[in-house]
Structure 1
């Protein structure tokens, strides 16, 4: 039983290189993004477990006594069990969600409830065991996504940068921390439809698209090599190589048909300021990343951010290669984070 509040955080994730090619067996590089999700676990004596997700407007509470009476025998199947569709439906009933509730706030509630019920039954829960954290996080991903790759939970647990290929995940040794802009075009898109579109184009033009995927693979491998060299001593020349790789990958992704006018606009705006950008993730809108070199003038960064927000985009200045899941003291948190967590 906790005697005081527990504060933890985990980083976000972006794909640096390898989008879509990874679906076809090629390498992808995923990096931890230092825009973090914070969790405050606060003990109470009122007999309820509460969940408050202010960013997505969800606030719920359940009686602990009622949860303890549930039939949770499926949670005893091994160290880390996967909920079946039937069990997910039961979780929806317990959570008080509609049967067809599949919005992000509903899925987040289900993932929390599943992990809460699972972990509270464990007698050997070790908070500092990253392997176990990663396994449980993966099960939360399965509740939300159904059949995830395991990259998101691995990056958020371990931090830094990971190499992913055909289900195998390995950490890059001592990746450098790179400053970036993360820009959300706010254009919605369907990852499933975009992946299907690339597959269709590959079947239609195999001699054209297959070499594109192979070339994207080579870009990922070259970036991995450069990041390894930068761990020893970063040079201006290495940043120039990273910029070239970003440009080439973006053109390849456009050729695969996963670009969008909003992403083209993002790249044009940043290029006007001498910066290099590419989409990250599925494409078709969504987000893009922009590399910020260490010698970049502060005024240039601010002008770029202002130009991007002027396009109607959301823009954050952050870093990649961030630490993984971390425990914090209240005093170590920035003011806005403390306020969001309840005025610690």
Structure 2
């Protein structure tokens, strides 16, 4: 086990195009956000394992002796990740004192941590004593990949600490990355963590968190795309809660009732994803930026209309589109729809005054709004100097757990 203090980050994600259509065999484009989750791991003391999650006001600690059952309960090969059985998840739930039917962020975070910590540590003769702090810029439960970023950070930190993968050398750099084989192992373990949280995830969110950039998802196959430009967006959370399951079922119902109408709409969404991929590659290759951005804006407008047609729009998202259109900007929902989040494309020459005015108007509606970038790097090891002061203090203020099992 390494005795170093490590700081790891992983990005959230948005779906650029292909929401819902991807369920029916069409192409979706998922892209990383410049909003990240950060994790600090350091050697613990007094044979304790501490987990501090300030976003959900959770401070926990366990004695390593009380966690020894994980070594026998979890049959794991660190190089060949596999899913936690229902019986094991139930055992972890009972140990952590989580009531049956749990679904809140704290309960799911604890179960995911216990599984990844126990499974990845199982290659060692004893469980390591560690202090872990995880803090995120991502809103929880908004469809922006917050749980996947958490899983990716945990997997990267625990694999590095256990010696299953190397610790990248910063050597005066602010950020360092693992090699492709190590990233693949991180991604596989993060996917197992996502299964604990979501049951049957697609694997897209953890793949974006691991690899960054943009991924093309089609018929269960995930392909990273090279040469993707770093685009500016406004990301808006309407804070309207919705059920992804109900929305997906609604689209399927419409498709079954009106196949001759719905199939062409889904085909068009598929074509939008493919055309967007082509345009982004053209921008990265040095094409006419103004012309290419105009096409990207047209694709956003067309897709938003399609998403309303298939029944996943919402009045809160209509207001988002109307407000930004008043400033010459183009917006669409991202994710499940029915509320949730939307994205607004910003051209390279969009003036700060337009951005600020749009943000103020959206906040006046009660929405949360961030100016951020999409297409950046995936999971990374970071130097303390690379962090903003507020993030650094949250991760390194020496807080300790106040609840013990």
| TM superposition score category, shorter chain reference | over 0.9
Please, which of 194, 219, 228 is the counterpart of residue 272 of structure 2? 219
Shift of 1:53: 1.0
| Deviation for aligned residue 1:270 | 0.4
Q: Which SS does the other structure have where 2:344 is aligned? A: strand
- The offset of 1:35, in angstroms, is 0.3
Which residue in 2 is equivalent to 1:125? 164
> 1:170: which partner in 2?
223
CA distance in 2, matches of 1:89, 1:141: 16
Alpha-carbon RMSD across the aligned residues, in angstroms, is 1.4
Count residues with an aligned counterpart: 344
Map Cα deviations across residues 123-154 of structure 1 (whole Å, 9 max, x no partner).
66114310100000000110011011110010
Q: Which moved more, 1:282-291 or 1:49-58?
A: 49-58
Match of 1:179 in 2: 232
| Most deviating of 90-99 and 169-178 | 90-99
What is the aligned partner in structure 1 of residue 97 from structure 2? Answer: 96
> Could you say what secondary structure the match of 2:11 adopts?
strand
Equivalent-residue separation in structure 2 for 1:175 and 1:254 (angstroms) = 28
Distance 2:12 2:69 in 1: 35
User: Which residue does 2:117 correspond to in 1?
Assistant: 116
1:275-333 Cα deviation digits (max 9, x unpaired): 00000000000000000111011111111101100100000110000110011111111
Contact 1:9 1:325 in 2 (8 A): yes
Moved more, 90-99 or 43-52: 90-99
Question: Which residue of the partner structure matches residue 356 of structure 2?
Answer: 302
Range 156-165 or range 76-85, more displaced: 76-85
Q: Is the 8 A contact 2:76 2:120 kept in 1?
A: no
CA contact (8 A) 1:74 1:81 kept: no
Runs of 4+ in 1 over 6 A off after TM superposition: none
**For structure 2, which runs of at least 5 residues remain unmatched after alignment?**
125-162, 167-177, 399-405
Q: Counterparts of 1:45-194 in structure 2 under 5 Å?
A: 45-70=45-70, 71-76=72-77, 79-122=80-123, 125-127=164-166, 128=178, 129-194=182-247
Q: Does 1:323 align with 2:324?
A: no
- Quote the residue 1:34 is aligned against: 34
1:282-293 aligned within 5 A: 282-293=336-347
Note if contact 1:95-1:113 (Cα within 8 Å) is conserved in structure 2. Answer: no
Matches of 1:77 and 1:104 in 2, distance apart? Answer: 26
User: Which segment drifts farther, 167-176 or 100-109?
Assistant: 100-109
Which deviates further from its counterpart, 116-125 or 7-16?
116-125
Q: Give me the TM-score of the superposition, normalised by structure 1.
A: 0.97
C-alpha displacement of 1:91 = 1.0
Q: Using the alignment, how far apart are the partners of 1:73 and 1:134 within structure 2?
A: 19
Distance (Å, rounded) in 2 between the aligned partners of 1:169 and 1:31? 12
User: Could you list the runs of 5+ residues in structure 1 that have no partner in the other structure?
Assistant: none
Aligned pair 1:233/2:286, yes or no?
A: yes
Contact 2:239–2:339 (CA<8 Å) still a contact in 1? Answer: yes
Q: Cα offset for 1:78?
A: 7.4
- What's the offset of the Cα at 1:115? 0.4
The answer to which of 118-127 and 203-212 deviates more is: 118-127
